[in-house]
C-alpha cells in the first residue's frame, strides 16, 4: 500500500506517526540521505545536554532519541523515548515524531505530548505557529520538544495560558511528576523492551547515578500518598498517588543495575 491509497485518517496519522502505514515506504532522495547522515554525525558529536540519539539498525531514515526531562520541571530526569522517521524529501519536509513513553497509550504528558504518542509542535506541522523550514535541523526539533517540558506545562494548554490558580498548577504538576517517575523512570528501566538496546545502554548508568535524587523526589511528594490522582482538566480519577512505594522500587532497580543483574 502506498501513501496515495491510504484513507484520509491514515494519511493524517502518517503525517506525524513514524509507525503509521506508508511512513517509510518511499525511497529517500540522495540529498535526503546525505542530509540525514550529516545531521546524525553532528548530533553524535555535539552531545546536546539531556538528549541521546541513536540510528535505527534497520532503516537509514529512522532514528531513536531519549530526551531527559529538564531540571526544575515536573519532567525532571525522566527518560522520554521518541521514534523519528525522516520523510523521503527530508529537508523540504519535517520529521515525523512519536512519543513512545506513554504506558501503552495510557498517559498524556502534557498539552503537547499526547497519550497516542502525537507530539504537537508547529515545526512538525502538528500545532499552530512557526512552520518547518529547510534551514532547521533535527537538533532544532529535539530542543523544541525538550522546551515543551516546562516548569508549568498546564500553561501550554489552550485557554490556560494565563492561569494563576496555584492549586491547579500544582495539581497538574504533581500528576506529571508522578507519571514521570512511574513511567519515564521506573518503567523505562524495569522493562527491557522499553528502549532500543543502544538507548538502554546509555540510560541504565544514568539512572543509577540519579537514583538517590529520584528517591528524594518521591519522599518530597510522599505527603500525597493515598490521595486521588485526578486529571486537572476533566476531573477523571486515575487512581491514587503512591510515592513511597515508588521510592522503594527505584532503590530495588538501582541495586539491580549496580549488581549487573539488570542490563
Question: Which one of 60, 120, 208, 222 is the catalytic residue?
Answer: 120
Kindly state the cell numbers that stand for 212. 538517590
C-alpha separations of 46 from 51, 53, 70, 118, 192 in Å: 10, 11, 18, 27, 28
19, 64 Cβ separation under 8 angstroms: no
Helix, strand, or coil (residue 97)? strand
Between 197-221 and 166-179, two packed helices, what is the crossing angle to 10 degrees? 140
Kindly state the cell numbers that stand for 262. 539488570
Q: Where are the alpha helices (DSSP H) in 101-196?
A: 138-148, 166-179, 188-190
218 catalytic residue (yes or no): no
Report d(CA 51, CA 156) in Å as an integer.
Answer: 22
Phi, psi of 52 (to 5 degrees): -120, 125
Report d(CA 211, CA 198) in Å as an integer.
Answer: 21
161, 154 Cβ separation under 8 angstroms: no
H or E segment and range at residue 80: strand 79-85
Residue among 91, 70, 34 nearest 143 (CA): 70
Kindly state the cell numbers that stand for 92. 523540504
- Residues annotated as part of the active site: 120
Amino acid at each position: 500500500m502506498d501513501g496515495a491509497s491510504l484513507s484520509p485518517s491514515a494519511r493524517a496519522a502518517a503525517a506525524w506517526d513514524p509507525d503509521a502505514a506508508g511512513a517509510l515506504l518511499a525511497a529517500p532522495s540522495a540529498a535526503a540521505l546525505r542530509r540525514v547522515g550529516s545531521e546524525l554525525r553532528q548530533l553524535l558529536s555535539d552531545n546536546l545536554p539531556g538528549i541521546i540519539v541513536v540510528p535505527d539498525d534497520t532503516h537509514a531514515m529512522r532514528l531513536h532519541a531519549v530526551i531527559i526531562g529538564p531540571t526544575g520541571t515536573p519532567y525532571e530526569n525522566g527518560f522520554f523515548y521518541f521514534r523519528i522517521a525522516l520523510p523521503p524529501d527530508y529537508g523540504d519536509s519535517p520529521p515525523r515524531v512519536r512519543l513512545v513513553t506513554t504506558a501503552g497509550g495510557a498517559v498524556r504528558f502534557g498539552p503537547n505530548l499526547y497519550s497516542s504518542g502525537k507530539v504537537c509542535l508547529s515545526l512538525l506541522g502538528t500545532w499552530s505557529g512557526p512552520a518547518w523550514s529547510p534551514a532547521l535541523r533535527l537538533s532544532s526539533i529535539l530542543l523544541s520538544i525538550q522546551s515543551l517540558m516546562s516548569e508549568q506545562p498546564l500553561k501550554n494548554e489552550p485557554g490556560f495560558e494565563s492561569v494563576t490558580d496555584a492549586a491547579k498548577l500544582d495539581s497538574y504538576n504533581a500528576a506529571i511528576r508522578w507519571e514521570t517517575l512511574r513511567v519515564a523512570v521506573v518503567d523505562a528501566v524495569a522493562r527491557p523492551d522499553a528502549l532500543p538496546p543502544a538507548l538502554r545502554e546509555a540510560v541504565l548508568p544514568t539512572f543509577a547515578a540519579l537514583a538517590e535524587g529520584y528517591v528524594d523526589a518521591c519522599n518530597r511528594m510522599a505527603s500525597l500518598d493515598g490521595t486521588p490522582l485526578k486529571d486537572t482538566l476533566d476531573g477523571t480519577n486515575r487512581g491514587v498517588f503512591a510515592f513511597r512505594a515508588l521510592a522503594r522500587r527505584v532503590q530495588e532497580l538501582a541495586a539491580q543495575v549496580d549488581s549487573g543483574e539488570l542490563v
